Amino acid sequence: MRKTAGLLLFLSLTFALSSCTIERRKSDAELGLNAQQSTGRGIFDNRCARCHEAYSRKDLQGPSLKALFKKPYMSNGLPANDDRVKELIRYGRSKMPAYGQILDQQQLEDLMAYLHTL
């Protein structure tokens, strides 16, 4: 009886893990990020990742940023260009907080460099 229960548990866990869709986080080198983009990824991880997905199309509290600059418009209807994205980061909008007093100009440029890789 114990062997049967153990076997059932093992098979259940094996099935559950094999159907898991969570991907391993890729390193900066695997993503081909340069030093500036890598720094920007760190800023994204610390400031943006709690609300935005970078490599998935699913939305968290905010919209996914995957392929942000590959679309003509952001999900809010504004053009997906550097000026509008920087404006959103600096001044915030709706539920998005403003980071203009938190990020300096270099950090903003590093973050933008990373966002262009998505």
pLDDT reported for residue 90: 97
pLDDT reported for residue 60: 81
For 79, the 3-state DSSP assignment is: strand
Number of Cβ atoms within 10 Å of the Cβ of 114: 26
Cα 20 to Cα 82: distance, rounded to the nearest angstrom = 36
pTM of the model: 0.77
**Residues in the chain where the model's pLDDT stays below 50:** 7-8, 11, 16-19
pLDDT reported for residue 17: 47
pLDDT reported for residue 92: 94
Where do the domains of the chain lie, and which CATH numbers do they carry?
30-115 (1.10.760.10)
pLDDT reported for residue 57: 80
8 burial via Cβ count (<10 Å: 0-12, 13-18, 19+):
exposed
